[in-house]
Amino acid sequence: MENGTHFRTCHLCEAMCGVAIEVREGHIASIKGDEDDPLSHGHICPKAVALQDLHEDPERLRRPVRRTADGWQEMEWDEAFDLVADRLHSVRKENGRNSIGAYLGNPNVHNHGSLVATMPFLRALGTQNRFSATSNDQLPHMLASLEMFGHQILFPVPDIDRTELFICIGANPMASNGSLMTVPDFRGRLKALKGRGGRMVVVDPRRTETGKLADEFHFIRPGSDALLLMAMVRTLFEENLVNPGHAEPWTKDVDLVRLASLGFTAEAVSEHTGVAAADIRNLARQLATAQRAALYTRMGTSTQAFGGVATWLAYVLNILTGKLDSTGGVMFTQPAVDLIALGGMTGQRGHFARRFSRVKKLPEFGGEYPSSTIADEILTPGEGQIRAFVTVAGNPVLSSPNGGRLDEAFGSLDFMVSVDYYLNETTRHADVILPPTAGLERSHYDLIFSMFAVRNTAKYSPALFDAGKDSRHDWQILLELAHRLEKKRKHGRLPVRAEMGWRAFKQIGPDPILDMMLRTGPYGADIGRVRGVVQPAIDLVMDILPERHPLRGLARLSPLNRHWQDLPKGLSINALKQLPNGVDLGPLRPCMPGRLFTRDGKVNLAPRRYLRDLDRLHALLSAPPANGLLLIGRRHVRSNNSWMHNSRRLVKGKERCTLMMHPQDASRCGLQAGDSAEVASSAGRIVLPVEITDDIMAGVVSVPHGWGHHRDGTRQSVAMAHAGASINDVISDQQTDPLVGTSVLNGQMVNVKVWRSERPRKLA
């Protein structure tokens, strides 16, 4: 790579910060924030410099390895692909297509190559036993979007740069930099909000880094958000504050929501939630009366026992107060590659509960079962039992509930392959590991997070380094495996056309596809001069075509869509290459009801499955509040899920994998600062240092996730030296939100006691 400064997007988290990487003599000399990035304006977090650590990490795998009796052995790519395709094929032949399980991890969504190759890969695997990080994450948001707006990824995003009131429940953007709200430099944006006279309210069981900056902060008992939000809805009706405003004509079933909220008064839910009734009422009033306000919920309200209902109610509150699709409220990003419109056209709007998992009968969403049931499906004998497993960019042993049981399950498989560049807690169980290139060695375009950003932007970066001939990108690995598997299924020979198709796909890769999507998207080709002639004809045709006709979808997707008429035009990869810092496509714009995908073109405010789940909420309200310690997670700005602890720069300093505990609880358990605590549940136990602080609500304890690097047989020496303990070793896989199937990662009950032993803190 030439000497000089190269601009690209950091792909580590959802924030999409622009980075300026200075390269000298083929090496990274520095990584700084890109002042000219139209979204992040120079902001980066400490993880950005770890891009270099990741790039240079000698322990990052660069060639395929195979497990042998004498340890891991390197192999040639061709040999590795053959072996994997062979073994997967024979497991499938012997035990049926569902005997292969597949798990897709979080980094896939930061990788446009993977995204393009995943579909054909999964089709070639042919299994219904698919899992991903979604069910440990944003699944309730996807269900709410599907049920209410008719499309699984049409997410309302806070218009934070123009709001006057930001209500943040169960999220910590100061640490996470936002989620389903791509918001680089949250601190700066918050400062600007306050500078305009705006306010932030935070509701969380822990006074987080975000909570500390709030104008108003409330502790809430974990798992009780649905009660709080329902009482806010109740307050709106009681106090005549319901006013969907411009959304009124395209919103239905307001009255059903009113009926559903009966009984959930602020006074009634106060004891359970731990939030004073006056504060709940006041929250509802603030949301209703502020002209520009956004209520936002994320991980804490999503991955809990009532995550489905809570997420729905958050959407409902924004709609009842007229904040949906209005400036300064919650709006919809209009990305340059509109996967939402594309999904609408190809029938990928999403689906739910079309089939159920074999063992626990949990519902699929978009063809995936909840990850909390992976171990059940591997360990329970019978027709359809998983015998072989594929992981792509995932570390479920640390990221999914009951990691100990997953360890056992992966250890029992006939065959496992991991597409991953680290030998870690999950991939150590693989028979073969296929390592892809790392982020700086491939081109980058953020297909996913451009859809959820607080401003419309687009940016393309070519690969910064060439990893050489003996390397493969994720997309190359996935397509090669898919091709070989398809061939085997057809007894070694594909029809000529199919064979040519595969070869062409492998030849061109994701970028020409991306280019085509950019050119045909909302900011694509400029049909300016012909629009006057073409548009009326198109409108006429559209009127007579049935609602679900593919041509309608096509028009919706193309520059012909009227909604996109005024947007800037001319995007393509070439155009973006001329603008290496990225291009600003403007603030969020109202787009409803035109972008709704529901059959009747209305927002469905009261989908029946949520109403049916309210019996459970009534039961929660009538039972006495649980007495015991409730476990929640947390994130830290220097850590990223489970996989960046091999960067010395990120793990140095004070130990961060601690048990946070309120002084009252600590003294009740006989724990003092510096002690080690044992946290136990039916799933397992972990030991970690206690950190006593009144920043956490009494009755709640917190442990970050992604740690627990003590397991044998991994190859991440820095991470092992800072092992910590895995919260998911004590989170039970028996608890899911029965409505959606999401793992209950927040709010499970645990026992805590003093750990006194001369033995080292390592637990299996």
Ligand X SMILES: Nc1nc2c(c(=O)[nH]1)N[C@H]1C(S)=C(S)[C@@H](COP(=O)(O)OP(=O)(O)OC[C@H]3O[C@@H](n4cnc5c(=O)[nH]c(N)nc54)[C@H](O)[C@@H]3O)O[C@H]1N2
Among the residue ranges 20-28, 137-145, 478-486, 677-685, the one whose residues contact Mo ion (CB under 5 A) = 137-145
Of residues 557 through 596, those in contact with ligand X by CB under 6 A are: none
Nearest approach in angstroms of CB 435 to ligand SF4 is 22
Q: Does 651 bind ligand SF4 (CB under 6 A)?
A: no
Among the residue ranges 155-163, 420-428, 585-593, 604-612, the one whose residues contact ligand X (CB under 6 A) = 420-428
C-alpha to C-alpha distance for 656 and 689, rounded to whole angstroms: 9
Contact indicator for 744, 735 with CB cutoff of 8 Å: yes
Among the residue ranges 134-142, 273-281, 301-309, 514-522, the one whose residues contact Mo ion (CB under 5 A) = 134-142
Considering only 98, 304, 457, 647, the residue that binds ligand X (CB under 6 A) is: 304
Nearest approach in angstroms of CB 732 to ligand X is 11
Contact indicator for 358, 382 with CB cutoff of 8 Å: yes
Give the DSSP letter of residue 453. B
In this complex, which beta carbon is closest to ligand SF4, that of residue 30 or of residue 291?
A: 30
Give the DSSP letter of residue 715. -
Q: Does 651 bind ligand X (CB under 6 A)?
A: no
Of residues 6 through 65, those in contact with ligand SF4 by CB under 6 A are: 10, 12-13, 15-17, 44-45, 47-48
C-alpha to C-alpha distance for 298 and 293, rounded to whole angstroms: 17
Of residues 662 through 721, those in contact with ligand X by CB under 6 A are: 705-706
CA distances from 420 to 135, 390, 428, 432 (A): 21, 11, 11, 10
Of residues 174 through 213, those in contact with ligand SF4 by CB under 6 A are: 177, 184
In this complex, which beta carbon is closest to ligand X, that of residue 99 or of residue 732?
A: 732
Contact indicator for 48, 7 with CB cutoff of 8 Å: no
Nearest approach in angstroms of CB 570 to ligand SF4 is 27
Contact indicator for 571, 458 with CB cutoff of 8 Å: yes
Considering only 40, 98, 135, 136, the residue that binds ligand X (CB under 6 A) is: 136
In this complex, which beta carbon is closest to Mo ion, that of residue 323 or of residue 634?
A: 634
Neighbours of 134 (CB within 10 A): 21
Residues 6+ apart with CB under 8 A from 740: 139, 140, 143, 307, 308, 363, 365
In 545-647, alpha helices (H): 550-557, 573-577, 608-612, 614-622
- b/e map 90-129, b = 16+ CB within 10 Å: ebbeebeebbbbbbbbbbbbbbbbbbbbbebbbebbebbb
Q: Does 747 bind ligand X (CB under 6 A)?
A: yes
Q: Beta-strand (E) ranges in 345-422? A: 352-356, 363-365, 388-392, 415-419
Contact indicator for 434, 477 with CB cutoff of 8 Å: yes
The HSE-up count of residue 95 (CA atoms within 13 Å, CB side) is: 22
Sign of the C-alpha dihedral computed for residues 638, 644, 650 and 655 taken in this order:
positive
Task: State the DSSP H helix or E strand holding residue 302, giving kind and residue range, or none if neither.
Answer: helix 299-302
Among the residue ranges 5-13, 166-174, 417-425, 527-535, the one whose residues contact ligand SF4 (CB under 6 A) = 5-13
Among the residue ranges 89-97, 261-269, 606-614, 634-642, the one whose residues contact ligand X (CB under 6 A) = 634-642
Considering only 171, 330, 374, 478, the residue that binds ligand X (CB under 6 A) is: 171
What mask of x and - would describe binding to ligand X in positions 370 to 409, judged by CB under 6 A? Answer: ----------------------xxxxx--x----------
**Binding site residues, ligand SF4, CB under 6 A:** 10, 12-13, 15-17, 44-45, 47-48, 177, 184
**Binding site residues, Mo ion, CB under 5 A:** 137
**Binding site residues, ligand X, CB under 6 A:** 13-14, 105-107, 111, 133, 136-137, 169-173, 175-177, 179, 203-206, 208, 220, 222-223, 225, 298-301, 304, 392-396, 399, 419-422, 424, 436, 474, 632-637, 639-643, 705-706, 727-728, 731, 745-747
